[in-house]
Amino acid sequence: MLIRSLLATAIASLLTPANALAAEPKPGGDIIVTYQNDVATLDPAIGYDWQNWSMIKSLFDGLMDYNPGTTELVLDLAQSYELSDDGKTYTFKLREGVEFHNGREMKASDVKYSLERTANPETQSPGAGFFSPILGYDAVSAGDTEELAGVTVIDDYTVAIELTAPNATFLHVMGLNFASIVPREAVEEYGKDFGKNPVGTGAYELTDWTLGRHLIFSKNPDYFKPGVPYIDSITFEVGQEPMVALQRLERGDVDIAGDGIPPAKFLQFKNEPQFESLMVVGDQLHTGYLTLNVTIPPLDNLKVRQAINMAINKDRIVRIINGRATPANQPLPPAMPGYDKNYEGYSFDPEQAKALLTEAGYGDGFETELFVMNTDPQPRIAQAMQQDLLNIGIKAEIRSLAQANVIAAGGAQDQAPMVWSGGMAWIADFPDPANFWGPILGCEGAVPGGWNWAWYCNEELDAMGDKADAMVAEDQQEERAALWGKIFTDAMADAPWVPIFNEQRFTVRSERMAGDESLYVDPVHVPVNYDYIWVK
């Protein structure tokens, strides 16, 4: 997934408030959350932005989910599953007695319908491609049939899903919102308005949506998970300018400022002790990076790319964004399985960078272009890079353009020597390194219109990735993560990127919630996991 303007996906934040589990939760209470923008849809097959993702997660469930506060996959609507000896067929046993908000019991036929609905091109789901490993997806995608041949209803509580090949990321896909289970009758009743009238099995159900004003989620009294949710209702007030929302939060009028801390107030909240308990800070499955087009001279020279890696002062860039990130040395973010904490990467060493340029035959430097999105703070970050490059003799002209134009330039092989990814960088759809490779560093992304703006294609590393994704057994997962880590650090030997920073996310809560130690945040429910929030 790409961050587009405010776009982020729910898996983005790994937020852990210091006292999240310090007290025993007590059911009851109501909270108010503010957002600047209204919500486009609550249809799990269609919603794909940072705001509606967490809401959808509270209304719907899938076969799989994540342990709160971790990237550990756990069973959700599935009670258990078995994997065939060939690693291609997952047979899920469903929980019995789980009801949709309309009172009907969920069955295996609902699983089949929901997956086929998302895969169907008529639904226009941005997540349809995630189901491509399922046998028969190509026929559905082509419009030849509406049925996924690989999805078989065995009985009311058993469904088998056959893949075309072993795929270790498949269970993560079953934890995405796109794989949420919906009732056919509700979808058919509301048609294209299902996103305004959502019916799921989730911890909450939508009880009021007044466009431009608010949405109200009420606790599902028949939720199948014992003890949750704790909160009785959540009111999402929309049309709230972030600065005004923050002032209301300080007064105690709202509980969570959903849009986060405005830049003008960030240092105040970060540095003043009185606000410390109000901030929830965590890492995201996201890396900001500078791409180096390996097909455009002189960036086709390895030593030139290595020199650029050693020329960029990442600490200074982090200061530009008020310390809202940590410097990066590899493509994978620290929270991602496979991240190599022992890898040192390229050090900041302008003198060695100059020496490498001389060895490459560019001792007098050269001229090039740096593309950047024209929204603050991205141009300021690009200017810092420009100064660092000039210090080693590289004159980089900044091309500050609208986001769409930068993306288009990056997707054309001969257009953009360097692209700063800020505001557009890849953020993981699920916590698995495979999702960080193919689209942005693998050969599959090095195509016209693709997202591999470095145009880097290493078929040997791609093959290693295929090998890693075929490692589906539980006892292979540690080895698989290590193999993926090696793939990314081996790629850094070719220097197609300059990893710049791993951005952090800051959520702010009211004194009432902080005082009650009442905010619990889950990595798959952003900015907060409303399933697990409670107020004393």
DSSP 455-494: ----HHHHHHHHHHHT--SGGGHHHHHHHHHHHHHHHHHH
pLDDT band at 20 (very low <50, low <70, confident <90, very high): very low
**So what's the pLDDT on residue 424?**
82
What pLDDT sits at residue 24?
60
pLDDT-derived band at 516, boundaries 50, 70, 90: low
Q: Between 129 and 345, where is the model more confident?
A: 345
Q: What is the mean pLDDT of residues 396-424?
A: 93
Tokens 């999402």, located at residue: 236
**Residue 520: pLDDT over 60:** no
Q: Can you tell me whether residue 442 is helix, strand or coil?
A: coil
Arithmetic mean of pLDDT, 295-315: 98
Average model confidence (pLDDT) across the chain: 87
For the stretch 240-278, pLDDT in tens is 898 999 889 888 899 888 887 877 777 887 788 877 777
The C-alpha atoms of residue 245 and residue 257 are separated, in whole angstroms, by 6
Report the pLDDT value the prediction gives residue 69, as an integer from 0 to 100: 64
- Please give the structure tokens belonging to residue 140: 């559905």
Per-residue confidence (pLDDT) for residue 4, from 0 to 100: 29
Q: Which residue has the tokens 């983005």?
A: 12
In this prediction, residues 339-343 reach a mean pLDDT of 96
The answer on pLDDT for 490 being more than 50 is yes
Going by their DSSP bridges, the two strands 256-257 and 30-34 should be labelled as parallel
Q: Please give the average per-residue pLDDT across 50-54, as a whole number.
A: 81
Q: How confident is residue 79, by pLDDT bands cut at 50, 70 and 90? A: very high
Residue 258's pLDDT is 83
Using a 10 angstrom Cβ sphere, with 0-12 exposed, 13-18 middle and 19 or more buried, the burial of residue 36 is middle
User: From CA 355, how far away is CA 368, in angstroms rounded?
Assistant: 19
Total residue count of the chain as it appears in this document:
536
Amino acid at 255: D
In contact, 500 and 331? CB cutoff 8 Å = no
Supply the DSSP symbol for 15.
E
Interval 199-220 mean pLDDT: 95
CB atoms within 10 A of CB 154: 12
pLDDT at residue 123 is higher than 70: yes
DSSP letter for each residue of 323-339: T-EEE-SSSS-TTSTT-
Q: What distances in angstroms separate CA 412 from CA 4, 36, 415, 455, one per listed residue?
A: 19, 35, 6, 9
Please tell me the distance from the alpha carbon of residue 282 to that of residue 534, in angstroms, as a whole number.
20
Beta bridge partners, 161, equal 90, 151
Nearest to 436 by CA among 319, 338, 312, 535: 338
486-498 average pLDDT score: 98
Look at residue 514 in the predicted model and tell me its pLDDT: 64
pLDDT of 17 higher than 60: no
Q: Is 449 helix (H, G, I), strand (E, B) or coil?
A: coil
Query: At 122, phi and psi to the nearest 5?
Result: -65, -25
Predicted local confidence at residue 515, as pLDDT: 59
